[in-house]
Amino acid sequence: MKGSGAMILAVDVGNSNTTVGLFDLAGKLMFRSTLETSRSKTRDQCAIDLLGVFRLYDAEVREVTGAILSSVVPPLTAVFADTIGRLTGRPPLVVGPGIKTGLNIKAEIHDQLGSDIVAYSVAAMADYESPIAAIDMGTATSLSLIRGSVYEGCIIMPGLTLALEAMSERAAALPPISIEGHAQVELLGRTTEEAMRSGVLFGHASMVDGMLDRIEERIGQKLTVVATGGNAPRILCYCRHEIQYDADLVMKGLYLLYQKNTRKPRRT
């Protein structure tokens, strides 16, 4: 990848994971890497992590000509912004109030909308047919409705891992379990662990299906549904709705936001 020219760095700091993506100027995603989010990391530790990602993918941080940062972890926003500026020599564009999105966001939620939700909504609006339900399955599961360029609103639900951890922590008789490495789960479990896996997987899928049914009933239209986030592949196979999986939805949205906010207007 070395010597490939100018690059755009996109960083999305989530509650559980931090995603790092590198785009060329044509908008091609050169790599996407996932790191664990730690609220206690210093600027130096963040710099070491980012440099390690660049080395892993044989990329040069000196070729970064612009950067954009999305963060839903306020204590880390300034840490990552300073770190990116230090490594690239350019302060990143930070997704927040005042940024150009192309979305007509309902006034009541405009200043409260998470930057990751803004990013995936911008990408969904650009790539999928309206009306769109865009779902991000991470620490929390967020479901957004976009019609044309209008962001109609959002539903936020407990995420898959969060629900699983809460169940084992709050119910003394239920053990901690993992959903990793289980290709197919039966609806009716014959052990406690099987029953818990069924509950969280089929339960989460039913929750998503139920919300989609309610939205379609309310607007009187069939939705185009797209999902992203680390838990999406575990859930979508149990959903009854047709849901497209787009692992890079947030990254693509960040690239589009960068372009919208840095592109120079044409002279007339």
Question: Locate tokens 């549904």: which residue?
Answer: 225
Question: Using an 8 Å Cβ cutoff, are 184 and 137 in contact?
Answer: no
Structural contact between residues 4 and 24, judged by C-beta atoms closer than 8 angstroms:
yes
| The two structure tokens encoding residue 158 | 């407990």
Secondary structure of 136-168 as H, E, C letters: EECCEEEEEEEECCEEEEEEEEECHHHHHHHHH
3-state helix, strand, coil split of the chain in percent (to 5) is 40, 25, 35
Which of 24, 49, 58, 116 does the annotation list as catalytic?
Answer: 116
Phi and psi at 153, nearest 5°, equal 155, 180
Contacts of 64 (CB under 8 A, 6+ apart): 6, 7, 8, 9, 22, 87, 88, 90
Catalytic site residue 246?
no
Reference 119, options 10, 264, 16, 6; nearest CA is 10
**In DSSP terms, which residues pair with 34 in a beta bridge?**
19
Residues annotated as part of the active site = 116
